[in-house]
Amino acid sequence: MNDILLKFNDFMKKKELSSNTLDAYTRDVEGFLIFLRALNISYIDATNEEINAYSQFLKGEGKANSSIGRCLISIRAFYKFLLKENKLENIPMNNVEAPKHTRPIPLTLTIKEVEKLLNMPDTFSVKGKRDKAMLEVMYATGMKVSEILNISVYNINLKEKYILCDVKNKENRIIPIGSYAIECLEEYLKERHNLNNKNSQLLFLNNKGDQMTRQGFWKLLRSYSKEAGIDKPINTSTLRHSFAVHLLQNGADMVVVQRLLGHKSISATQVYSEIYENNKIAEEYLKAHPRA
């Protein structure tokens, strides 16, 4: 990492971004600087033309519009930093257009597929009890994987049946948890001390007693989905998406689902209603069409 990128990284750290967001900003700008270096152009001399060319380059590399848009936001932040450092007089992004972002339809599991997945962990082992509790909590609450991995033992109240989702720089939300998740948490908590060799307050720990990473969570989720014979490209948000669709499918109010998910706008939740309606249409078609 060259000096200017290090200084930009230090500048962005002051904004109290999450480590994942900070890494994304730095990675995006680094890619742009490499692109400029190949053209033998300094970042100081870069114009709208070069930035638009980089956008097209990313598109040619198969990057999604959302990823390209994020890169352009990172590049704009980089030039705002340079402006503040008095290294240039204007930000060269007046005529740069971000590609249109179309919200993808989230992939969800059926209720039967979720049941298969949640039954995969071996609950005779500490690891299996942890995995079972973690997956049950995710499906019971619809929390993001980052939220799940940051739950403290002090954020859960099994007697009152809720979890306090405490997110930095965001409004906290209290999420109810059902009997299945509570039972699994109780079983896991009986043996959590076998993993907690570093006196951590985090609820879910990896086998070394440290905080589990997103990658670690993804690996165990992928492994269990394969064991369950689920032939869908599952990701770390699949249970969250399935939680939302299944609530609507069983009559939950849209505003309630919005609040449980922590969405600021109802429009972000609306996509789950569309999935539910599409699923319903498909089911009716299969029932009614003689050649379906």
- Catalytic positions are 168, 240, 263, 272
Please name which of 220, 198, 195 lies closest in space to residue 206, comparing C-alpha atoms: 195
Query: What is residue 105's DSSP assignment?
Result: P
175, 143 Cβ separation under 8 angstroms: yes
> For residues 133 and 185, is the Cβ–Cβ distance under 8 A?
yes
Kindly write down the DSSP assignment for every residue of 174-190, as one continuous string: EEE--HHHHHHHHHHHH
103-131 burial string, b = 16+ CB within 10 Å, else e?
Answer: eeebebbeeebbebbbebbebeebbebbb
**Residues in a beta bridge with 174:** 164
Which residues does 244 contact at the CB level (< 8 Å), separation at least 6? 142, 257, 260, 261, 269, 272
User: Which of 234, 211, 233 is closest to 146 using CA atoms?
Assistant: 211
